Amino acid sequence: MPRQALVITGTIGDDAVEAMAALIRSFLQYGPDGVDRLPAAETLATGRACQWRLDVDETQAPALLTTLRERMADHPIDVNLVPDDGHRRKRLLLADMDSTIIEQECIDEIAAFAGVGERVAAITERAMRGELDFEAALSERVALLRDLPETTLARVADERLSITPGARELVATMRHHGAYCVLVSGGFTFFTGRIARAVGFDENRANTLEIAAGRLTGRPVTPILGRQAKHDTLLELSEKLNIPSSDTLAVGDGANDLAMIEAAGLGVAFRAKPLVNRAADAQVPHGELTDLLFLQGYRADEIVTPNGPQS
């Protein structure tokens, strides 16, 4: 049977670990005489992450995961089951920006300055849930920003955006261990360039807002980078860097991220919409971006910050 790592992340007390162990034993039908068949939980970060290495039949794995998530729903933890193989630590990271690497949606923040915040946010929400075509929805939202001064973009960047906890550590640690990290967004290069530098990405790709005479024209520069472009970026870089798909990780939260999440060796739904949770290999609805490191088997003393290894 394939070896799997059952990883729990979040705010983890002894009660949660004991409850998880009991549930695993029950599901896998480990009786009193077989208690020792369940390996001890391995601490990855005290109070934040631990794992069990299990031999689980592929036909059992989905039901096991569903059972554990349902039974542990009252605990502030995320439960995931990932292959514990030679490809666990990924060599290529593709990350969405809005509501993933940063905590906001840039276009919604721009729209607030233009006085159309609620209208744009409603379209954004529907597009994220997969109810609207992304390219058409982006064009519709950008049209509402026509004649907004270009200087508004800098105000949004300076006053409205915050980096998601764990983003810098995720990128710094993966790069330290040889991974190539790319910020790929359906948003705008004005912001991805700044965020990529602040977080430490190797490169960034996004859309460009058309500007004339210091004001937004209400049009994005075509072609628009959307769901297919994110997927194609994953394939392009995998081939260019000679990295197999099994060694890739993609993370995002909305419908625009589905194709790259489904194509990656490890696709992670981070604080995501329901359709993304259903499609992803792993879900992180409660935690921080450092939890993506624990899914890859990193331990707390291996996490790197911009100032050096975490103590």
Q: Which residues are catalytic?
A: 96, 98
User: Residue 219: which residues within 8 A CB-CB, separation 6 or more?
Assistant: 139, 142, 143, 210
**From CA 219, how far away is CA 175, in angstroms rounded?**
35
Do 62 and 265 touch, CB atoms closer than 8 A?
Answer: no
**From CA 120, how far away is CA 105, in angstroms rounded?**
10
| DSSP 8-state class, residue 221 | P
Write phi, then psi, for 7 (nearest 5 degrees).
-115, 130
**From CA 241, how far away is CA 223, in angstroms rounded?**
25
What Rg value do the Cα atoms of the chain yield, rounded? 21
Question: Sign of the CA dihedral 26, 280, 271, 96?
Answer: positive
